[in-house]
Structure 1
Amino acid sequence: MNSHYNTKQRKILIDCFENMDKKHFRASDVLEYLEKENSNIGKSTVYRQLENMVSEGILNKYIIDINTPACFEYEGKSRHEDMLFHLKCEKCGKLIHLHCHEIDDFQKHLYTNHHFKLNPKRTVFYGICEECEKKNK
């Protein structure tokens, strides 16, 4: 595990995560944001720092499928301790947090009857979001 250094570049990246208007973002979103802010952090440094911050638990990384770039989520000062699943829209690609205690029964069923424990931070349900569904009607 990489040691934690409070470098200028790291601070710029943390500021970027805190100021972006997206809950989930890709490396390309970070690079675009940094370009608008006239930051001189290189592409390889951004990718390396993202992976370091995932290892340190500062960022969550979601790999949805092989055709979609990895998606990151900044944990910030408060880390998710509760059950957190995700919904992925197959039309627009939006990734949505799902905080729903109804799913607890499903998790219990999987564990009790199938001896399988879900990892909520790594579980993604696929479907169509409300906005895309409205567009189809």
Structure 2
Amino acid sequence: MRYNTKNRQKILEFIKSQRDKYVTINEINAELERQSIKMSLSTIYRYMDYLETEQLISKHIDANEKKSYFRYTGDNPACKEHLHLKCNNCGITIHLPADILENANIHNFKIEYDSSVIVGICEDCQ
């Protein structure tokens, strides 16, 4: 692992604390500011790229909102082997069973689960 500053550790701690929720760069930055930590957005983006490369987080890009969302997956490698539902309102992530599409032959299409997120509105937010 690269040089890990206290500020980077705070980012990682925040993402871990959000466990089953995708967070944005702005939410990370707001948490840092709440803790009186000053860090540029570009530094946060670079660190998120690094965490993704190290397979500690997953990244979801919402093309409609033109935003990136991040979620900690470091201690759950199986998380990249199934689909996820993401609530557009509260950001909660719901893990779908790994075999949900096992018997579905969808045009012999191989799904890349590490980037497969289905978005919508969760039951609590409806």
Q: TM-score, normalised by structure 2?
A: 0.78
1:64 deviates by 2.5
CA gap of 1:42–1:96, structure 2 versus 1, over 3 A, is: same
Of 59, 62, 67, the match for 1:61: 59
Contact 1:54 1:61 in 2 (8 A): yes
The gaps in structure 2 that reach 5 residues or longer are none
Backbone CA RMSD of aligned residues: 2.5
1:1-137 pair list within 5 angstroms: 4-20=2-18, 23-76=21-74, 78-81=75-78, 83-89=81-87, 92=89, 94-100=91-97, 101-106=99-104, 109-110=105-106, 114-133=107-126
Cα distance in 1, alignment partners of residues 14 and 26 from structure 2: 13
Q: Which protein has the larger Cα radius of gyration, Structure 1 or Structure 2?
A: 1
1:120 deviates by 1.6
**In proportion to residue count, which structure has more helix?**
1
* Number of equivalences: 124
Relative contact order: is structure 1 or structure 2 higher (C-alpha 8 Å, sep ≥ 6)?
2
The alignment-based identity, stated in percent, is 25
The gaps in structure 1 that reach 5 residues or longer are none
